[in-house]
Amino acid sequence: MHSEQIRACGDELYMALRQRETVAPLTERFPDITLADAYQISLHMLQRREQDGERVIGKKIGLTSKAVQNMLKVGQPDFGFLTNAMVYSQGAEMPVSSTLIQPRAEGEIAFILKRDLLGPGITAADVLAATECLIPCFEVVDSRIHDWKIAIQDTVADNASSGLFLLGDRAVSPRRVDLATCGMVVEKNGAVISTGAGAAALGNPLNCVAWLANTLGEQGIALKAGEVILSGALVPLEPVKAGDFMTVSVGGMGSASVRFT
């Protein structure tokens, strides 16, 4: 794609975010769009948000499960950026009906870093050593692409379909949890709707964060001390609407809950 097309697509997705509207899939309109093009579109969209006063507080990893990768016919995860306008705290009401378009919630494990990670060559052991604590969380993804008709280039361009996220109020040391085997239970309106384990995310959430550090490192971008890193879903996506209440519990970590308005 030409630089003018990349800027135009980034502007279009930014306006779709602000106006809560969807756009036709980019892959239908630009059949030659590459993954590199999509990330450049995402960065332009982020620049527009930063011009509004938002600031980056972390990153998210998506497409970590084999099921989702197979659905989109891809063999790798993707990533997006988290800003201060996206974060909510334990027990908060999250106004999805007034801020998002077609929200879906997923339980995840958030990493809070105590030192920078800059690839290449980052290992799971490096991630463990650089992690201050782990927190159960919800990511509520959203798509500015009509009816979630996304190929990987569409979701990457759209900041990895990021919406909002909520962090629990209990943090634990990463050395107190077996991240590959820890279990996750998600409840919606009082009923268990899904269960999962750490191995669902590239075998171990540590592997997800290492992948992100190495992938961003190719562009000279570091994961920074103090940042929140959402390490990928351990359970299926769940559509949510105003009035829903959800809880995610992770073995050895506690829980997080959110009410949607």
What distances in angstroms separate CA 19 from CA 23, 44, 99, one per listed residue? 11, 17, 9
Question: With contact defined as beta carbons under 8 Å apart, do 33 and 27 qualify?
Answer: yes
The rounded distance, in Å, linking the Cα atoms of 246 and 15 is 30
Per-residue model confidence (pLDDT) at position 74: 78
Per-residue model confidence (pLDDT) at position 143: 96
Q: Could you tell me where the beta strands, DSSP code E, fall in 63-114?
A: 78-83, 87-89, 93-94, 104-113
What distances in angstroms separate CA 212 from CA 58, 80, 81, 89, 223, one per listed residue? 12, 10, 12, 24, 8
Per-residue model confidence (pLDDT) at position 68: 74
Give the pLDDT confidence of 46-96 residue by residue, as tens digits: 999 999 999 999 999 998 877 677 777 777 899 999 999 999 999 889 999
Which residue in this structure is represented by tokens 């961003």? 216
Per-residue model confidence (pLDDT) at position 2: 95
Question: With contact defined as beta carbons under 8 Å apart, do 171 and 135 qualify?
Answer: yes
Closest CA to 242 of 137, 140, 109, 89: 140
**Farthest-apart Cα atoms in the chain, separation:** 50
Confidence category of residue 166, pLDDT binned at 50, 70, 90: very high
pTM for the structure as a whole: 0.96
Give the pLDDT confidence of 4-25 residue by residue, as tens digits: 999 999 999 999 999 999 999 9
CA angle 188, 189, 190 (to 5 degrees): 90
Confidence category of residue 129, pLDDT binned at 50, 70, 90: very high
